[in-house]
Amino acid sequence: MPDLSLGDDLRAFVDASPSPSHAVAELARRLRAAGFTELAEADAWGPAPGAEHFVVRHGSLIAFRVGSAPLAGAGMRLVGAHTDSPTFKVRPRSDVRQAGYRLVGVEPYGGGLWHTWLDRELTVAGRLVLRGGRQVLVRLPGAPLRLPSLAIHLDRGVREGLTLDPQRHLVPVWSGELDTEPGLTEAVADAAGVAVEDVVGHDLVLADTQPAGTTGADGTWVAAPRLDNLASCHAGGTALVAAAAGERTQVLVCNDHEEVGSGSMSGARGSFLEDVVRRLVAVTDPADAQALPRTLARSRLVSADMAHAVHPTRYDRHEPAHQPRLGGGPVLKVNANQAYATDAASGGWFSERCAEADVPVQHFVTRADLPCGSTIGPLTATRLGLPTVDIGAPMLAMHSCRELASALDVPLVVDALTACYTG
């Protein structure tokens, strides 16, 4: 029987992370347990060789273990992932009333398969900002929200294809009795243990409440929400904790806002990673004006995001010679048009690290007649000039409310990333 303990740990990580803010808090909890301590961006830093720290910027987190050698001389090994997933964000004025119901106004976030959110037990989770700037995490208990399908008897045309207008049709229902129940805002404040008048802002998203489970005849598949890309945050964090310290500085960067283009102060187009690297370089190489480009030239970034496993009935959507399978190990993603940052050198380097770790490597390219998705890899490579490889665990149903991956791939990806941190 294969060891499924890391798959079980992934399920626990996903269940603890219904929003990017929760994912960052769970990563922080695990890093603290492993000896890492938090640094504030507003403080001055002077981390010594061997120091283990993490920094949080909203829904993003960067963790690092400072190497024994100055950065300009040894470079860095980085793993990148993203904390966000397609969902719906609660609107500032969310109290919607119609047809004798109370509903919650939401806005789609990212490119979800929205029909998969119908008829599921949903809640909201995220962060509240209180008067004075204090922030608290909140998750409403139970499953108070729902997006009910329309009965087929009232929509015979659905056989030709379901059409969902996000403004009119994707509005979750909260209660049936007007004014007898507290509204969402009151319930969220109550769940957080704060007064509703103290809440001055919120970042709240819808989340599916069914715990991550296992499926498949041998129980090795993981059915869960948000595997894209919490599975890579989990693997990167696990690998960083497991990696032996060395002369190179080791970095984990988990960015928010990948699903909406990464253009934010905490997204991969923003300055977060560059700011942290500049500060580390200023500590390890204070007299070298060329330390930053020297460091980047000696570094490698593994951009870890989920990959498309070949579909059991829609296998024609894959390039025939490139059909990754669940449980077959990490997938090296290549795209001639640079939707992935992998090139011969970075891909070759990753394949060598996998060979050292005895991890098989699969390959993905998109069909020539289909467009290709992208990741934080090309964005970070473009911004920083960082040699980058795009990889990820194979999965099915990407961007569904309930995605599917294999627990067998979790230790393989962790081993590959651990080898990249030390190789």
Q: In the complex, what is the shortest distance from the CB of residue 398 to Zn ion, in angstroms, rounded to a whole number? A: 8
Any contact of residue 229 with Zn ion (CB under 5 A)? yes
> What stretch of H or E contains 193?
none
Stretch of 198-206, 297-305, 333-341, 407-415 contacting Zn ion, by CB under 5 A: 297-305
Tell me whether residue 36 or residue 88 sits nearer to Zn ion (CB atom).
88
C-alpha–C-alpha distance, residues 89 and 82, integer Å: 17
In the complex, minimum distance from the CB of residue 373 to Zn ion, in angstroms, rounded to a whole number: 8
Q: Which is nearer to Zn ion, 330 or 423 (CB)?
A: 330
Specify the residue, 229 or 380, whose C-beta has the smaller distance to Zn ion: 229
Query: What is the rounded distance in angstroms from the CA atom of residue 218 to the CA atom of residue 7?
Result: 13
Q: Is 305 in the site for Zn ion (CB under 5 A)?
A: yes
User: Of residues 203, 228, 285, 409, which one binds Zn ion by CB under 5 A?
Assistant: 228
**Size of the residue set binding Zn ion (CB under 5 A):** 3
**Shortest Å, Cβ 82 to Zn ion:** 6
Sole window of 218-226, 234-242, 301-309, 348-356 interacting with Zn ion (rule: CB under 5 A): 301-309
Closest alpha carbon to 50 in 244, 234, 235 = 244
Q: Do the Cβ atoms of 314 and 402 come closer than 8 Å?
A: no
Between residues 171 and 376, which has the closer beta carbon with respect to Zn ion?
A: 376
Alpha carbons 197 and 1: distance in angstroms, whole number: 54
How crowded is residue 217: how many other Cβ atoms within 10 Å of its Cβ? 6
Angle among Cα 169, 173, 176 to the nearest 5 degrees reads 130
Beta bridge partner(s), residue 364: 333
Residue nearest to Zn ion (CB): 229
SS3 (DSSP) at 262: coil
Task: Provide the phi-psi class of 208: left if phi over 0, else alpha when psi is between -120 and 50, else beta.
Answer: beta
| Contact by Cβ (8 Å): 128, 195 | no
Of the pair 248, 257, the CB lying nearest Zn ion is at: 257
Select from 30-38, 220-228, 316-324, 404-412 the region that touches Zn ion (CB under 5 A). Answer: 220-228
Nearer to Zn ion, 15 or 258 (CB): 258
Would you tell me which residues interact with Zn ion (CB under 5 A)?
Answer: 228-229, 305
